[in-house]
Amino acid sequence: MAELILRRVLVAIPTIIIVSMLVFALQKLLPGDPALLIAGEERDPKVVEFIREKYHLNDPVPVQYGYWVMNVLTGDFGISLRTDTPVTTLVAQKLPVTIQLAVMAMIIALLVGVPAGILSAVRKGTVTDYVANVVALSGLSIPNFWLGILLIFLVSVQLGWLPASGYVPPSEDLWLSIETMLMPAFVLGTALAATLMRHTRSAMIGILRSDYIRTARAKGLRQNKVVYKHALRNALVPIVTLMTLLFGELLGGAVLTEQIFTIPGFGKLVVDAVFTRDYQVVQGIVLCTAIGFIVMNLFADILYILINPRLRGA
Protein backbone atom coordinates (compact mmCIF):
# COMPACT_ATOMS: atom_id res chain seq x y z
CA MET A 1 0.00 0.00 0.00
CA ALA A 2 2.80 2.41 0.92
CA GLU A 3 4.42 1.64 -2.40
CA LEU A 4 1.20 2.48 -4.21
CA ILE A 5 1.01 5.84 -2.46
CA LEU A 6 4.65 6.59 -3.13
CA ARG A 7 4.13 5.85 -6.81
CA ARG A 8 1.27 8.32 -6.96
CA VAL A 9 3.44 10.99 -5.35
CA LEU A 10 6.28 10.37 -7.78
CA VAL A 11 3.94 10.61 -10.75
CA ALA A 12 2.78 14.04 -9.58
CA ILE A 13 6.27 15.50 -9.86
CA PRO A 14 6.72 15.37 -13.67
CA THR A 15 3.13 16.58 -13.97
CA ILE A 16 3.96 19.67 -11.94
CA ILE A 17 7.05 20.32 -14.05
CA ILE A 18 5.01 20.07 -17.24
CA VAL A 19 2.38 22.37 -15.72
CA SER A 20 5.03 24.97 -14.99
CA MET A 21 6.17 24.82 -18.62
CA LEU A 22 2.63 25.01 -19.93
CA VAL A 23 1.80 27.94 -17.69
CA PHE A 24 4.91 29.77 -18.74
CA ALA A 25 4.37 29.07 -22.42
CA LEU A 26 0.75 30.13 -22.14
CA GLN A 27 1.50 33.60 -20.86
CA LYS A 28 4.31 34.04 -23.37
CA LEU A 29 1.72 33.38 -26.07
CA LEU A 30 -0.54 36.20 -24.91
CA PRO A 31 -0.49 39.06 -27.39
CA GLY A 32 0.12 42.58 -26.23
CA ASP A 33 3.29 43.92 -24.72
CA PRO A 34 3.01 44.05 -20.91
CA ALA A 35 5.57 46.84 -20.91
CA LEU A 36 3.27 49.02 -23.01
CA LEU A 37 0.51 48.36 -20.54
CA ILE A 38 2.55 49.44 -17.54
CA ALA A 39 3.75 52.52 -19.36
CA GLY A 40 0.12 53.62 -19.52
CA GLU A 41 -1.75 56.06 -21.67
CA GLU A 42 1.37 58.19 -22.22
CA ARG A 43 3.60 55.31 -23.39
CA ASP A 44 6.90 57.04 -22.72
CA PRO A 45 9.45 55.04 -24.83
CA LYS A 46 12.11 55.31 -22.10
CA VAL A 47 9.76 53.84 -19.51
CA VAL A 48 8.80 51.04 -21.89
CA GLU A 49 12.43 50.11 -22.44
CA PHE A 50 13.21 50.26 -18.73
CA ILE A 51 10.36 47.89 -17.95
CA ARG A 52 11.41 45.45 -20.67
CA GLU A 53 14.89 45.34 -19.19
CA LYS A 54 13.72 45.10 -15.59
CA TYR A 55 11.49 42.10 -16.21
CA HIS A 56 13.85 40.40 -18.69
CA LEU A 57 11.29 40.81 -21.46
CA ASN A 58 14.10 41.22 -24.00
CA ASP A 59 15.70 37.85 -23.17
CA PRO A 60 14.98 34.61 -25.04
CA VAL A 61 12.00 32.71 -23.68
CA PRO A 62 13.98 29.76 -22.19
CA VAL A 63 16.13 32.24 -20.27
CA GLN A 64 12.99 33.93 -18.97
CA TYR A 65 11.66 30.55 -17.91
CA GLY A 66 14.94 29.92 -16.09
CA TYR A 67 14.64 33.19 -14.17
CA TRP A 68 11.08 32.41 -13.26
CA VAL A 69 11.73 28.84 -12.04
CA MET A 70 14.71 29.99 -9.97
CA ASN A 71 12.58 32.65 -8.33
CA VAL A 72 9.66 30.33 -7.71
CA LEU A 73 11.94 27.78 -6.08
CA THR A 74 13.11 30.46 -3.67
CA GLY A 75 9.52 31.37 -2.88
CA ASP A 76 9.40 34.47 -5.08
CA PHE A 77 6.39 34.21 -7.37
CA GLY A 78 6.90 37.68 -8.76
CA ILE A 79 4.79 40.81 -8.37
CA SER A 80 1.69 42.16 -10.02
CA LEU A 81 2.98 44.42 -12.77
CA ARG A 82 -0.15 46.48 -12.39
CA THR A 83 -0.05 47.22 -8.67
CA ASP A 84 3.36 46.03 -7.37
CA THR A 85 1.63 43.62 -4.96
CA PRO A 86 3.69 40.42 -4.52
CA VAL A 87 1.92 37.35 -5.92
CA THR A 88 2.40 35.57 -2.59
CA THR A 89 0.45 38.37 -0.89
CA LEU A 90 -2.27 38.01 -3.49
CA VAL A 91 -2.48 34.27 -2.87
CA ALA A 92 -2.75 34.92 0.86
CA GLN A 93 -5.51 37.48 0.25
CA LYS A 94 -7.52 35.46 -2.27
CA LEU A 95 -7.18 31.92 -0.97
CA PRO A 96 -9.54 32.39 2.01
CA VAL A 97 -12.14 33.91 -0.33
CA THR A 98 -11.96 31.06 -2.80
CA ILE A 99 -11.99 28.47 -0.01
CA GLN A 100 -15.03 30.07 1.61
CA LEU A 101 -16.88 30.03 -1.69
CA ALA A 102 -15.82 26.44 -2.35
CA VAL A 103 -16.88 25.28 1.10
CA MET A 104 -20.26 27.01 0.94
CA ALA A 105 -20.93 25.68 -2.54
CA MET A 106 -19.92 22.23 -1.38
CA ILE A 107 -22.24 22.38 1.61
CA ILE A 108 -25.16 23.38 -0.59
CA ALA A 109 -24.28 20.60 -3.02
CA LEU A 110 -24.02 18.05 -0.22
CA LEU A 111 -27.31 19.03 1.36
CA VAL A 112 -29.11 18.72 -1.96
CA GLY A 113 -27.13 16.23 -4.00
CA VAL A 114 -26.59 13.32 -1.63
CA PRO A 115 -30.16 12.99 -0.28
CA ALA A 116 -31.52 13.40 -3.80
CA GLY A 117 -29.18 10.71 -5.06
CA ILE A 118 -30.18 8.28 -2.32
CA LEU A 119 -33.86 8.95 -2.84
CA SER A 120 -33.48 8.50 -6.55
CA ALA A 121 -31.62 5.20 -6.13
CA VAL A 122 -34.06 3.78 -3.63
CA ARG A 123 -36.99 4.74 -5.83
CA LYS A 124 -35.25 3.78 -9.02
CA GLY A 125 -37.58 3.84 -12.01
CA THR A 126 -40.32 5.85 -10.30
CA VAL A 127 -41.47 9.36 -11.09
CA THR A 128 -39.34 10.67 -8.21
CA ASP A 129 -36.24 9.18 -9.79
CA TYR A 130 -37.18 10.54 -13.17
CA VAL A 131 -37.82 14.06 -11.92
CA ALA A 132 -34.64 14.08 -9.83
CA ASN A 133 -32.63 13.05 -12.86
CA VAL A 134 -34.06 15.71 -15.12
CA VAL A 135 -33.57 18.37 -12.45
CA ALA A 136 -29.97 17.25 -12.01
CA LEU A 137 -29.31 17.36 -15.72
CA SER A 138 -30.86 20.81 -15.85
CA GLY A 139 -28.53 21.86 -13.06
CA LEU A 140 -25.63 20.71 -15.20
CA SER A 141 -26.94 22.42 -18.31
CA ILE A 142 -27.76 25.91 -17.06
CA PRO A 143 -24.95 28.36 -17.82
CA ASN A 144 -23.58 29.79 -14.58
CA PHE A 145 -23.24 33.30 -15.89
CA TRP A 146 -26.84 33.38 -17.01
CA LEU A 147 -28.09 31.99 -13.72
CA GLY A 148 -25.93 34.55 -11.92
CA ILE A 149 -27.29 37.49 -13.88
CA LEU A 150 -30.88 36.35 -13.39
CA LEU A 151 -30.38 35.86 -9.67
CA ILE A 152 -28.76 39.25 -9.17
CA PHE A 153 -31.61 40.90 -10.97
CA LEU A 154 -34.38 38.97 -9.22
CA VAL A 155 -33.04 38.46 -5.72
CA SER A 156 -31.00 41.65 -5.26
CA VAL A 157 -32.43 44.31 -7.52
CA GLN A 158 -36.10 43.35 -7.57
CA LEU A 159 -36.59 41.74 -4.17
CA GLY A 160 -33.66 43.25 -2.29
CA TRP A 161 -33.11 40.10 -0.25
CA LEU A 162 -29.39 39.59 -0.68
CA PRO A 163 -26.42 41.83 -1.52
CA ALA A 164 -25.80 41.95 -5.26
CA SER A 165 -22.10 41.33 -5.17
CA GLY A 166 -18.84 41.77 -3.36
CA TYR A 167 -17.15 40.10 -0.47
CA VAL A 168 -17.19 40.61 3.27
CA PRO A 169 -14.58 38.70 5.28
CA PRO A 170 -16.19 36.41 7.91
CA SER A 171 -13.95 37.96 10.54
CA GLU A 172 -15.61 41.33 9.92
CA ASP A 173 -19.21 40.23 9.96
CA LEU A 174 -19.91 36.52 9.80
CA TRP A 175 -23.59 36.75 8.95
CA LEU A 176 -23.13 39.39 6.28
CA SER A 177 -20.26 37.38 4.88
CA ILE A 178 -22.45 34.30 4.47
CA GLU A 179 -25.30 36.38 3.08
CA THR A 180 -23.06 37.98 0.46
CA MET A 181 -21.67 34.65 -0.65
CA LEU A 182 -24.99 32.81 -0.69
CA MET A 183 -26.00 33.52 -4.28
CA PRO A 184 -22.66 32.70 -5.91
CA ALA A 185 -22.36 29.59 -3.74
CA PHE A 186 -25.81 28.57 -4.89
CA VAL A 187 -24.92 29.12 -8.54
CA LEU A 188 -21.82 26.97 -8.16
CA GLY A 189 -23.65 24.51 -5.95
CA THR A 190 -26.31 23.67 -8.56
CA ALA A 191 -23.75 22.02 -10.81
CA LEU A 192 -21.97 20.34 -7.94
CA ALA A 193 -25.22 19.07 -6.49
CA ALA A 194 -26.15 17.57 -9.83
CA THR A 195 -22.79 15.82 -10.12
CA LEU A 196 -23.00 14.52 -6.56
CA MET A 197 -26.58 13.38 -7.05
CA ARG A 198 -25.71 11.38 -10.13
CA HIS A 199 -22.72 9.73 -8.52
CA THR A 200 -24.57 8.98 -5.30
CA ARG A 201 -27.38 7.45 -7.28
CA SER A 202 -25.11 5.18 -9.34
CA ALA A 203 -23.14 4.13 -6.29
CA MET A 204 -26.28 3.37 -4.29
CA ILE A 205 -27.88 1.41 -7.12
CA GLY A 206 -24.74 -0.68 -7.49
CA ILE A 207 -24.58 -1.43 -3.82
CA LEU A 208 -28.28 -2.07 -3.34
CA ARG A 209 -27.98 -4.68 -6.01
CA SER A 210 -24.95 -6.38 -4.48
CA ASP A 211 -25.09 -9.72 -2.77
CA TYR A 212 -24.59 -8.66 0.80
CA ILE A 213 -27.43 -6.18 0.72
CA ARG A 214 -29.64 -8.86 -0.74
CA THR A 215 -28.52 -11.09 2.10
CA ALA A 216 -29.26 -8.40 4.63
CA ARG A 217 -32.71 -7.96 3.19
CA ALA A 218 -33.22 -11.68 3.14
CA LYS A 219 -32.42 -11.65 6.86
CA GLY A 220 -35.43 -9.40 7.20
CA LEU A 221 -33.79 -6.09 8.01
CA ARG A 222 -36.12 -3.21 7.42
CA GLN A 223 -35.61 -1.26 4.23
CA ASN A 224 -34.66 2.01 5.91
CA LYS A 225 -32.06 0.44 8.10
CA VAL A 226 -30.57 -1.42 5.18
CA VAL A 227 -30.32 1.67 3.10
CA TYR A 228 -28.87 3.93 5.70
CA LYS A 229 -26.59 1.63 7.54
CA HIS A 230 -25.07 -0.72 5.06
CA ALA A 231 -25.52 0.77 1.67
CA LEU A 232 -24.75 4.35 2.56
CA ARG A 233 -21.59 3.42 4.38
CA ASN A 234 -20.31 1.73 1.26
CA ALA A 235 -21.49 4.42 -1.06
CA LEU A 236 -19.57 6.97 0.99
CA VAL A 237 -16.28 5.79 -0.48
CA PRO A 238 -16.89 7.12 -3.98
CA ILE A 239 -18.78 10.17 -2.68
CA VAL A 240 -15.98 11.28 -0.40
CA THR A 241 -13.43 10.69 -3.14
CA LEU A 242 -15.48 12.66 -5.62
CA MET A 243 -15.91 15.53 -3.17
CA THR A 244 -12.18 15.79 -2.65
CA LEU A 245 -11.77 16.02 -6.40
CA LEU A 246 -14.50 18.59 -6.83
CA PHE A 247 -12.96 20.64 -4.07
CA GLY A 248 -9.65 20.56 -5.89
CA GLU A 249 -11.42 21.91 -8.94
CA LEU A 250 -13.12 24.67 -7.01
CA LEU A 251 -9.75 25.89 -5.79
CA GLY A 252 -9.06 26.83 -9.39
CA GLY A 253 -11.62 29.51 -8.84
CA ALA A 254 -15.08 29.91 -10.23
CA VAL A 255 -14.09 32.06 -13.15
CA LEU A 256 -17.37 33.46 -14.43
CA THR A 257 -19.24 33.28 -11.16
CA GLU A 258 -16.57 35.32 -9.42
CA GLN A 259 -16.55 37.71 -12.34
CA ILE A 260 -20.27 38.31 -12.21
CA PHE A 261 -20.59 38.56 -8.46
CA THR A 262 -17.35 40.57 -8.16
CA ILE A 263 -15.86 38.13 -5.69
CA PRO A 264 -12.16 38.80 -5.22
CA GLY A 265 -11.01 35.18 -5.45
CA PHE A 266 -8.57 33.30 -7.65
CA GLY A 267 -10.85 33.06 -10.66
CA LYS A 268 -11.51 36.77 -10.97
CA LEU A 269 -7.89 37.57 -10.28
CA VAL A 270 -6.68 35.32 -13.08
CA VAL A 271 -9.18 36.52 -15.68
CA ASP A 272 -8.51 40.16 -14.84
CA ALA A 273 -4.80 39.41 -15.04
CA VAL A 274 -5.16 37.75 -18.45
CA PHE A 275 -7.06 40.77 -19.71
CA THR A 276 -4.56 43.28 -18.31
CA ARG A 277 -1.53 41.17 -19.33
CA ASP A 278 -0.43 41.08 -15.72
CA TYR A 279 1.54 38.01 -16.63
CA GLN A 280 3.40 37.32 -13.40
CA VAL A 281 0.03 37.07 -11.67
CA VAL A 282 -1.32 34.72 -14.37
CA GLN A 283 1.73 32.49 -14.01
CA GLY A 284 1.78 32.50 -10.24
CA ILE A 285 -1.91 31.90 -9.65
CA VAL A 286 -2.40 29.30 -12.38
CA LEU A 287 0.63 27.42 -11.10
CA CYS A 288 -0.72 27.55 -7.55
CA THR A 289 -4.20 26.37 -8.51
CA ALA A 290 -2.82 23.61 -10.72
CA ILE A 291 -0.59 22.38 -7.92
CA GLY A 292 -3.53 22.64 -5.54
CA PHE A 293 -5.57 20.55 -7.93
CA ILE A 294 -2.83 17.94 -8.30
CA VAL A 295 -2.39 17.76 -4.53
CA MET A 296 -6.13 17.32 -3.97
CA ASN A 297 -6.10 14.56 -6.57
CA LEU A 298 -3.21 12.91 -4.83
CA PHE A 299 -5.09 13.23 -1.59
CA ALA A 300 -8.18 11.66 -3.16
CA ASP A 301 -6.06 8.84 -4.58
CA ILE A 302 -4.50 8.11 -1.22
CA LEU A 303 -7.84 8.41 0.53
CA TYR A 304 -9.30 5.97 -1.92
CA ILE A 305 -6.47 3.51 -1.46
CA LEU A 306 -6.83 3.79 2.30
CA ILE A 307 -10.57 3.32 2.55
CA ASN A 308 -11.10 0.85 -0.25
CA PRO A 309 -10.93 -2.62 1.23
CA ARG A 310 -10.08 -4.18 -2.11
CA LEU A 311 -6.89 -2.15 -2.37
CA ARG A 312 -5.94 -2.14 1.28
CA GLY A 313 -3.96 -5.30 0.99
CA ALA A 314 -2.13 -4.27 -2.17
Partner 1 sequence: MLKTRLALFTLALLTTSAASAQTLRIGLAEDPDVLDPHRARTYVGRIVFTALCDKLIDISPKLEFVPQLATSWSYNDDQTELTFKLRDGVTFQDGSKFDAEAVKANIERAMTLPDSNRKSELSSVDSVEVVDPQTATIKLKQPDATLLATLSDRAGMMLAPAAFADGKEFSQNPVCSGPYKFVQRVQNDRIELEKYDGYWDAEAFPIEAITYLPITDATVKLANLKAGDIDMLERLAPTDVPSVKGDTSLDFVPVTGLGYGSIRFNTNNGERSKKPAGANKLVRQAFQAAIGRDVIDQVAGNGIFPPAQQPFPPSSPYHSDKFPVTTRDVDKAKALLEEAGEPNPSFELVFGTGSANQQLAELIQAMAAEAGFQITLRATQFAAMQQEMEQGNFDAAMINWSGRVDPDGNIHQFVTCNGNLNDSKYCNEDVDKALNAARLTSDVEKRKALYDQAQTILQQDLPLVYTYYQPWPFVLNKNVTGFEPYPDGMVRLKGMNVE
Partner 2 sequence: MTETAAARAGKVAPRTDADAPARPETVKIPEIGPTDEPLPEKRHRAVGKFLANRAAIVGGVVVAVFVLLAVFAPLIAPYDPLQTSFLAIRKAPSLAHFFGTDELGRDIFSRMAYGARASLLAGVVSVAIAAVIGVPFGLFAGFFGGWVDMVVSRVADAMLSIPFLILAIALAAFLGPTLTNAMIAIGISQTPIFARLARAQTLAVKAEDYVEGAEAIGLPNRWIVARYVFPNVLPPLIVQATLTIATAIIAEASLSFLGLGQQPPDPSWGSMLNTAKNFMGQAPWMSIFPGAAIFLLVLGFNLLGDGLRDALDPRES
What's the rounded Cα separation, in Å, for the pair 142 and 97?
24
Footprint on residues 237-276 left by partner 2 (CB under 8 A): 237-238, 241-242, 244-246, 249-250, 252-257, 259, 267, 270-271, 274-275
- Least Å from the CB of residue 31 to partner 1: 4
For residue 78, state whether it binds partner 1 (rule: CB under 8 A).
no
Stretch that binds partner 2, among 35-43, 45-53, 80-88, 151-159 (CB under 8 A): 151-159
The item of partner 1, partner 2, none sharing an interface with residue 102, based on CB under 5 to 8 Å by kind, is: none
Among 185, 263, 282, 288, binds partner 2 (CB under 8 A): 282
Whether residue 179 contacts residue 100, with contact meaning beta carbons closer than 8 Å, is answered with: no
> At closest approach, how far in Å is the CB of 217 from partner 2?
18
CB 99 within 8 A of CB 251: yes
Q: Can residue 308 be called a binding residue for partner 2 (CB under 8 A)?
A: yes
Closest separation between CB of residue 172 and partner 2, Å? Answer: 26
Question: Within positions 91 to 120, which residues make up the interface with partner 1, using CB under 8 A?
Answer: 93
Which residues inside 47-76 make contact with partner 2, applying CB under 8 A?
A: none
Q: Which of 42, 125, 172, 222 binds partner 1 (CB under 8 A)?
A: 42
Residue 91 binding target from partner 2, partner 1, none, CB below 5 to 8 Å by type: none
Per-residue x/- track, 20-49, partner 2 (CB under 8 A):
--xx--xx-xxx------------------
Query: Should residue 175 be labelled a site residue for partner 1 when binding is judged by CB under 8 A?
Result: no
- Euclidean distance between the first and the last CA atom of the chain, given in angstroms as a whole number: 5
Within 10 A of 267 (CB to CB), how many other CB atoms are there? 25
- Sign of the Cα torsion 131, 134, 138, 140 reads positive
Distance (Å, rounded) from C-alpha 226 to C-alpha 118? 12
Using the rule CB under 8 A, which residue among 4, 130, 215, 228 binds partner 2?
Answer: 130
Query: In angstroms, what is the minimal distance from the CB of 154 to partner 1?
Result: 11
Q: Under a CB-based contact definition with an 8 Å cutoff, are residues 191 and 199 in contact?
A: no
Contact region for partner 2 (CB under 8 A) — 11-19, 53-61, 159-167, 223-231?
Answer: 11-19
Surface-to-core class of residue 234, CB atoms within 10 Å of its CB (0-12 exposed, 13-18 middle, 19+ buried): middle
Q: Which is nearer to partner 1, 91 or 108 (CB)?
A: 91
CA 247-250-256 angle, to 5 degrees, is 160
What binding mask, one character per residue, do residues 204-243 give for partner 1 by CB under 8 A, x or -?
A: ----------------------------------------
Q: How far is CA 140 from CA 128, 160, 194, in A?
A: 18, 27, 6
Q: Is 265 left (phi over 0), alpha (psi -120 to 50) or beta?
A: beta
Q: CA-CA distance, 227 to 19, in Å (whole number)?
A: 43
User: Contact 285/177 with Cβ under 8 angstroms?
Assistant: no
Bridge partners (DSSP) listed for residue 86: 79
Would you say 3 or 42 has its CB closer to partner 1?
A: 42
Smallest distance, partner 1 to C-beta of residue 35, A: 10
Asked whether position 52 contacts partner 1 by CB under 8 A, the answer is no
- Rounded to an integer, what distance in angstroms lies between the CA atom of residue 29 and that of residue 253? 22
User: Which among 268, 105, 259 has a CA at the least distance from the CA of 191?
Assistant: 105
